[in-house]
Amino acid sequence: MNLICEISGRPAICIGPLPINFYGIIIVIGALVGGYIAAMQARLNGDDSDAVWDGLFWVVLAGIIGARLYHVFSTPAGCVAELPYCGWPWYQNHPQDIVLGIREGGLGIFGAVLGGLIATAIYARRRRLPLARYVDYAAPALLVGQAIGRWGNFVNQELYGPPTDLPWGLSIDAAHRVYEYVDLASYPVNITRFHPLFLYESTLNLLGFVVLIVASRRLKGRLKAGDLFLAYLIWYGLVRTFVESFRFDAWTSLGGIPTATLISIVLAVGALAALIVRHRPRAARAA
């Protein structure tokens, strides 16, 4: 029996009548690895690692809901109401697809982080856990989870940039081309390669994970609770700003600037300012 099938042109595992999208499997793997990292961080710092596993389901669920809502209310460049699952122009007239269309893709990381953070805050309050310390445990976990999750975009042949001649350029099938790149006469499938943006972000997130883990060990005596999460916001803000500079399908806002770029800059600058204020010399603050 062949277990490999497709859902709307995307690879999946079919167990009887039940198809399971590979993208979803990769997201679950990322969440579990992230949970392990967060639990390990908690244990090494003398906190309750079981609290991480007890709350992981609710945090991930809230993250998925937030990620979905971010996608639903976005409007990517070139999005039209007739093109399925392209953001608010579609969903405002097809509200049932907010839930039913999730198998076709459509999750936004900023919505996931916000949803997960809200769930973590509620969970920490109910369990009387130190929120700042637990979001620090989540910081490297988020980066490694995102690094893994981005490979779901590879499986789905999405999150690619403009054509490139670089040796690591990615081949995209005709069925997964969008915008002007559907013109196979101008962009032949057999020779056209695209920037693998998912790979750029995955690699940089993995590097950020290493940086945060090393910082949590070597700067343990100097870091304050919440600093690692602020560092995560700075790192991912810079990573996302870089990646968005390649995207041709980004949700844009003020002056045609990608919305994700604006959010990234605000988060990175705000987090950097918070770190500077938190670590000012006491004499300067007293003055």
DSSP SS3 for 165: coil
pLDDT at 2: 62
Distance CA 62, CA 71 (A): 14
Q: List the chain domain ranges.
A: 4-161+196-286
* Cα R_g (the chain), whole angstroms: 20
Q: What are phi and psi of 222, to 5 degrees?
A: -105, -20
DSSP state of 224: P
Contact 237, 271 (CB under 8 A): yes
3-state secondary structure 36-84: HHHHHHHHHCCCCHHHHHHHHHHHHHHHHHHHHHHHHCCCECCCCCCCC
pTM exceeds cut of 0.85: yes
Tens of each residue's pLDDT in the chain, 287 residues: 567 766 666 777 777 667 778 888 899 999 999 999 999 999 999 999 999 999 999 999 999 999 999 989 888 777 777 777 788 888 888 899 888 877 767 888 999 999 999 999 999 999 999 999 999 999 999 999 999 999 988 988 888 999 999 999 999 999 888 888 999 999 999 999 999 999 999 999 999 999 999 999 999 889 999 999 999 999 999 999 999 999 888 888 777 788 999 999 999 999 999 999 999 886 445 44
pLDDT digits (tens, 9 = 90+) for 115-133: 999 999 999 999 999 999 9
